[in-house]
Amino acid sequence: MPTPQSGILPASSAHALFVLLRRRLGRRVDATLRAMLAAIPDRIDQVALEAPETLTLGSVGIGANAWGDLFGDARPQALRGFPRIPGAIHPAPSTDADLLLHLRGERCDLLYELGERLVADLAEWFDPVETTACFRYRDGRDLTGFVEGTENPQGDERVAVALVGQEDADWAGGSYAHVQRYVHRMNEWQKLPVKQQEAVIGRTKDTDEELSDDDKPLTAHVRRVEIEQDGEELEILRQSMPYGMPGGEKGLLFASYCRTPVNFEKMLARMVSPTADGRVDHLLNYTRAVSGAAFFVPSREVLASLSS
């Protein structure tokens, strides 16, 4: 199996930077840009080597619109843009972005330095459109106070869920990434009694246990995103993290990796668009998406081939 980029599989970090960038009009892709993109995984590794305790990791993703100029006609089978969900009654906006930098590690100062250098080097070709600095909140909680990430696949399952395999052999080791920035309505959320918050999520707040089917409404977040197909539950590997400023915007930077874009698309559809029973995800009464983008994160070998 080709080598996945380092930001995809490992358990969550203390800090992360998500940078969405857009192609500058009229700037042609040239050998300098190709070499620069090809070298990003090594530059991330270099930080990790110089300061091993920082466990610095990262991924570079490329959007469907920029793909052809970089890689030509060859493309991952399911590469496409962020989905438009028919009948959505909650926002799921799509952001015009061509490149994702997902940098993560234990030292936010080094992530800042690395991010700043990469964005400066890419500035001739790309403008940053949204940068989010994220942090681990307490014991891995979302700012709503609920533990986030519990039901993520573990161990070898992470590889099976997140990485393209032999079904699209030329792109094996790559991953379909989706990111969305959610802004929480914290005042409304905090007015809600804990019992009702638990019904919105579908798990207990303090102890992070799944509610029984009787106590878990059909509108609970976990009920909306649990989808069974051919006897198997659809899965994604989430690398979401909280962000925020005291007195300012705050919420969750949702991020997922998967061997197919379909699982995220189906989950999002069940969150924002009413199913036959008229239900949507009640979590969306307390948070709303303000950006969204889809990328393919190629294996290290494929990214390195850009410079050859």
Per-residue mark of binding to ligand HEM, 75-114 (x: CB under 6 A):
----------------------------------------
Stretch that binds ligand HEM, among 34-42, 53-61, 105-113, 146-154 (CB under 6 A): 146-154
Per-residue mark of binding to ligand HEM, 152-181 (x: CB under 6 A):
----------------------------x-
Q: Nearest distance from residue 174's CB to ligand HEM, in Å?
A: 20
176-210 as b/e: b if 16+ CB within 10 A? bbbbbbbbbebeebeeeeeeebbbbbbbbbeeeeb
**236 counts as binding ligand HEM under rule CB under 6 A:** yes
**18 counts as binding ligand HEM under rule CB under 6 A:** no
User: Which residue number, 91 or 149, has a Cβ lying nearer to ligand HEM?
Assistant: 149
**149 counts as binding ligand HEM under rule CB under 6 A:** yes
**226 counts as binding ligand HEM under rule CB under 6 A:** yes
Which residues are paired to 232 by β-bridges?
A: 229
Residue choice 23, 158, 221, 282 for contact with ligand HEM (CB under 6 A): 221
Residue choice 22, 104, 158, 203 for contact with ligand HEM (CB under 6 A): 203
**257 counts as binding ligand HEM under rule CB under 6 A:** no
Q: Nearest distance from residue 112's CB to ligand HEM, in Å?
A: 24
Residue choice 126, 254, 257, 296 for contact with ligand HEM (CB under 6 A): 254
User: Which residue number, 66 or 220, has a Cβ lying nearer to ligand HEM?
Assistant: 220
Q: Nearest distance from residue 9's CB to ligand HEM, in Å?
A: 17
Handedness of CA 124, 308, 62, 43 (dihedral sign): negative
**150 counts as binding ligand HEM under rule CB under 6 A:** yes
Q: Which residue is nearest to ligand HEM (CB)?
A: 151
User: Which residue number, 37 or 143, has a Cβ lying nearer to ligand HEM?
Assistant: 143
What residue ranges bind ligand HEM (CB under 6 A)?
142, 144, 146-151, 180, 182, 201, 203, 221-222, 225-226, 236, 252, 254, 264, 267-268, 271, 287
